[in-house]
Amino acid sequence: MDKQSRFFDEMFDSAGEARMPYSRYHDWFKTEDIRHLRRKSEEAEAFFRRIGITFNVYGQQEADERLIPFDVVPRIISAREWARLEEGIAQRVRAINAFLHDIYHRQEILRAGRVPVDLIARNEAFLPQMIGVNPPGGVYTHIVGTDLVRTGENEFYVLEDNARTPSGVSYMLENRETMLQMFPELFTRLKVRPVSSYPQNLRRSLSDCAPPAFDGDKPEVAVLTPGIHNSAYFEHAFLADQMGAELVESHDLRIEGGRVCMRTTRGYKPIDVLYRRIDDDYLDPLNFNPNSLLGVPGIMDVYRAGGITLANAPGTGIADDKALYSYMPDIVEFYTGEKSILQNVPTWRCADADSLKYVLDHLSELVVKEVHGSGGYGMLVGPAASKRELARFEKKLRARPGNYIAQPTLALSTVPIMTKRGLAPRHVDLRPFVLVSPNKVQITPGGLTRVALKEGSLVVNSSQGGGTKDTWVLGD
């Protein structure tokens, strides 16, 4: 028996037959020459290099631009499976927006005792500067990336909510473009729902959130980037280009007449909606980190006065804080009156003494994450850790327990990748992308599938050696 057989294989059932979503793809695959498919993989890599789809790796001596490995075997989701996910994601995102409005206004959920006051008041992601502020259209999280994992036929879990500045959508779009070029016959054979309208939908969704100061026909939208050295700069430039929006840095902006204006060849022009890809702390040196060279002095004052829309709104980071994650089922129920459709992963908050004791006693069995961590950094995968790593992490937990949460090691589903010997199962997760406007929650049919390329590895992050796949949602 294959040692990975205890994991749910999304392509093959226990008898080795292709599951329904993959049946027509598998029929095609069986007729293909494996050497031809491997050559296609090499072509895909050359394509990614040619158009510059790279990311920067920090914290290493050889820090440089790297190519995210791309696997040509798609991840396929049936229309029925997607409908359920779509319903659960929309419910969760609506609840997150309601929660954010509440904690920056009446704080009813804190008064009701459903979320501890200390968890908000002492959280660095909570911005007192946002108290009483009403973002245009009531939207806090204009763009959300909800990370999902699967453990069975109908078992999906939310791993985390990315509500600050979720990244990866450019890879979703370029993965699809690559597959369309490499295997056009597959898209005539299978009814795969398109993702290419995302940039236009993003532009439309942001425009629908224009601020009170806007009084024209078409809102001016711009993308604020920290600059070329940022790990996601390719995506910032890509999305600005695809949306037909200006890509700006802080030195391109200044405040005139209560508006944020960008430099153009004809002078300075007001911006209505700024899709910012910099963190809260660096957004405005007058209101946040005074040493920031990436932000715009006074932009928060313009925002509070209704002169500009910032997407995502400052202070949204509290919603994807990992310490708050375990309260999400309560948050969903509190604001929607419904049970959460998507499950949470059981979570121990290490700030709690009893939970800390359990985590320390079972460290080798658990995944431990920093509350504010991202990108797979600062985490421990207990079953894969050495005794030295476990001992080192135990010291960290004892020193700062409130900085960590722990979760069981889930039996993540697998999808095959192309290897030199043929197909081989590897673990995956999924980040669907959600657009929120005043009257609409729109979920792109697909998302970014990240795959752990190392056999047995559960870490899918590109910074930790993971790759990506095209994600196909089938039509009805």
* Separation between Cα atoms, residue 348 and residue 72, nearest integer Å: 37
Q: Which amino acid is at 43?
A: E
Supply the pLDDT for residue 460.
Answer: 80
* Separation between Cα atoms, residue 439 and residue 436, nearest integer Å: 8
Enter the tokens of residue 301.
């004052």
Roughly what angle, to the nearest 10 degrees, separates helices 387-399 and 353-361? 170
* Separation between Cα atoms, residue 415 and residue 423, nearest integer Å: 9
Enter the tokens of residue 123.
């959280």
- 192 in Cβ contact with 473 (< 8 Å): yes
* Separation between Cα atoms, residue 450 and residue 147, nearest integer Å: 10
* Separation between Cα atoms, residue 214 and residue 132, nearest integer Å: 21
Supply the pLDDT for residue 53.
Answer: 63
For 471, the 3-state DSSP assignment is strand
* Separation between Cα atoms, residue 259 and residue 149, nearest integer Å: 42
Pairing of strands 246-248, 221-224: parallel
- 183 in Cβ contact with 28 (< 8 Å): no
* Separation between Cα atoms, residue 25 and residue 144, nearest integer Å: 30
* Separation between Cα atoms, residue 444 and residue 195, nearest integer Å: 6
CB atoms near residue 43 (< 10 Å)? 14
Domains of the chain: 20-343+410-473 (no CATH), 347-408 (3.30.1490.270)
* Separation between Cα atoms, residue 116 and residue 351, nearest integer Å: 12
Supply the pLDDT for residue 152.
Answer: 94
- Ranges in the chain, pLDDT < 50: 1-4, 57-63
For 333, the 3-state DSSP assignment is helix
In this structure, what are the phi and psi dihedrals at residue 345, rounded to the nearest 5 degrees? -75, 130
Q: Which segments of 128-257 are extended strands (E)?
A: 143-152, 155-162, 221-224, 246-248, 253-256
Check residue 227 and give left, alpha or beta (phi > 0: left; psi -120 to 50: alpha). left
Supply the pLDDT for residue 206.
Answer: 98
* Separation between Cα atoms, residue 473 and residue 392, nearest integer Å: 43
Enter the tokens of residue 374.
């991202």
Q: Which segments of 322-453 are extended strands (E)?
A: 343-344, 348-349, 366-370, 380-381, 404-408, 414-419, 422-431, 433-437, 440-443, 448-451
Supply the pLDDT for residue 59.
Answer: 46
Beta bridge partners of 260: 255
Beta bridge partners of 366: 408
Per residue in 301-352, pLDDT (tens digit) is 999 999 999 999 999 999 988 889 999 999 999 999 999 999 999 999 998 8
